[in-house]
Structure 1
Amino acid sequence: MTPQLWLWLGFAGMAAGAAAILFMGKRRTPAEEADTIIHGIVPIIAACSYFAMATGQGSIVLPAGPDAAEAARQFYFARYIDWTFTTPLLLLGLSRTAMHSGMRRPAIVWGLIGSDLIMIVTALAFGLSTVAWIKWTWFAISCGAFLAVFYGIFVQLREENAAERADVQSAFRRNAVFLTVVWCIYPVVLLVGQDGLGILSPAMALGVVALSDLTAKVAYGVVATRETTRAVDRDLAEGRTPAAPLRRAA
């Protein structure tokens, strides 16, 4: 497939995915409504990004660098704008799953989002750089911020999730592993794609990113929305409506 076909596929898949998530998501409680909106907005933002890239408005031509075989490369800056909005929303949704009974420690969420934004901005600087030592320094910083995101998920959020009932703990573990496995694909593609070592062809790199995006934003959104629905089913059956944060004892 050509790069253009992958971009249009990404646009169509995101648009269809957003409609599916918003249609299947329920709004019986404030928590359920918020999760439906969060996971529905994510592919809408991504669809806009893919439309911009497919129509030529979301990319620029940059020098390939002194060691590259080609003189120029297409740099898709729209995907970084997409990630700046969508990945914090995904982390917010995951945090809400971890602390289903109430957002007890919002500082953890802010730390996750801050680390995530540092990761994205430094990855953007990596992609824009043409001087080797500057490029790879930005890449290393971005990977460090990526590790900080994992720490927030698997240490801090997991600690808070331990206070929830067993089904919520299982849902959080499944969602965290799902999202983490997919997200690990991105730095590898950046490393070996046209913005990095140039091992992957532009079409192949776009294809891998498009499929990863569809998995992380549409497939994950469907899974996370269903997990929330199951948790709220039990809440309602037991006469509980999670909406307001729980207060810690002084």
Structure 2
Amino acid sequence: MPMMFWLTRSTADQWLGVLMLLFVVWLRRPAVPTRTARVVAAGPVICGAAYCLLASGHGWVYLPVADDPTLLRDFYLVRYLDWIVVVPITLFAVLSIALTDSAERDREWLKLVGPCTGMTVSAALYAFAWDPVIKTLLYVVFFGFSIVLALGVGRIFREQAEADNVHFKKLRRDMRFLAGLWTCYHVTLLLGSDGLRWFLPSVTTANFENLDFALTVAYPFVALSRVGRTREAEEKARHHAETLETGPGTIMLRPSHGRLGRGRPRATPA
């Protein structure tokens, strides 16, 4: 399929994803924190804007081909600038799903944002370079930052899975899903039109479009729905436990909302 089709579809997918995420946040309010919802929705908004710019014919330049400098290739600069901004945001969203304590989440994000930024910047430089030696060195740097980031995120999910027996299988499934996405990004970058050129530019763009949608929309949509249901169940269990602690026969006072005696306390058994 032509390149323009994939770029236009990517724009529509990302902005449709914003509506999907806002819907699940509205459906699970107030179980999903407002800050988490805003950060999660920011990813597809920025990604959709980048794809829209590319679809309009802007944000890309011609660069020499690595194995034949006399040939030129399309380099989608906005795609990699988008990664530098969106991937740390997506990392925050992933940690918000794995960690319920906001202070711990912020602390872990600050630890991993450095390797995350190093990974995206080295990926952009790898795609930009055309000298084979420099390109190889940059891919090694990119792969090193990726390993550090993967180990950090894997450690967090593994610790949470071991500490939470109820959601052990779901957290382990999240780990496998994210590891699969991580592998697919590496393969597409290495073999795509900015790497060894085993994939056509349209195939590379299609792969990146599907991976971006899975990472910024599909996974947060499913995971936020699960987090919302989990927190709602925990809140109901806590409320039920507090009610049982009051003991049988305890009288609780609550205001009446009838037409007569508005605002007067009404005794009801607990």
Shorter-chain TM-score: which interval? 0.7 to 0.9
CA contact (8 A) 1:97 1:171 kept: no
CA contact (8 A) 2:47 2:86 kept: yes
Q: Name the residue aligned to 1:247.
A: none
One-letter amino acid of the structure 1 residue matched with residue 176 of structure 2: V
One-letter amino acid of the structure 1 residue matched with residue 47 of structure 2: A
Q: Deviations over 1:130-153 (max 9, x none)?
A: 111111100110011001111101
Higher relative contact order structure (alpha carbons within 8 Å, sequence separation ≥ 6): 1
Instruction: Name the CA shift for 1:80/1:210 in 2 (closer, same or farther; >3 Å).
Output: same
One-letter amino acid of the structure 2 residue matched with residue 114 of structure 1: G
Distance 1:167 1:35 in 2: 23
Percent identity between the two aligned chains:
26
Distance 1:85 1:167 in 2: 34
Q: Name the residue aligned to 2:226.
A: 227
Q: Name the residue aligned to 1:211.
A: 210
TM-score, L = length of structure 2: 0.80
Q: Name the residue aligned to 2:94.
A: 94
Q: Name the residue aligned to 2:176.
A: 177
SS at match of 2:233: helix
CA contact (8 A) 1:6 1:210 kept: yes
CA contact (8 A) 2:17 2:44 kept: yes
Distance 1:34 1:171 in 2: 24
Q: Name the residue aligned to 1:59.
A: 60
Q: Deviations over 1:160-219 (max 9, x none)?
A: 5544x3345444333332222112211111111121111111111111111111111121
**Shift of residue 81 of structure 1?**
1.8
TM-score, L = length of structure 1: 0.86
Q: Deviations over 1:101-133 (max 9, x none)?
A: 443364432222211110010111111111111
Distance 2:105 2:46 in 1: 27
Q: Name the residue aligned to 1:144.
A: 144
Matched, 1:123 2:158: no
1:151-166 matched pairs, under 5 angstroms:
151-159=151-159, 162-163=162-163, 165-166=164-165
Q: Name the residue aligned to 2:242.
A: none
CA contact (8 A) 1:38 1:93 kept: yes
1:40-59 matched pairs, under 5 angstroms:
40-59=41-60
CA contact (8 A) 2:191 2:197 kept: yes
Instruction: Give unpaired runs (5+ residues) of structure 2.
Output: 240-270
Q: Name the residue aligned to 1:243.
A: none
**Shift of residue 236 of structure 1?**
1.7
SS at match of 1:194: coil
Q: Name the residue aligned to 2:267.
A: none
Instruction: Name the CA shift for 1:25/1:101 in 2 (closer, same or farther; >3 Å).
Output: same
Distance 1:193 1:70 in 2: 19
**Shift of residue 233 of structure 1?**
1.3
Q: Which moved more, 1:74-83 or 1:168-177?
A: 168-177
**Shift of residue 75 of structure 1?**
0.6
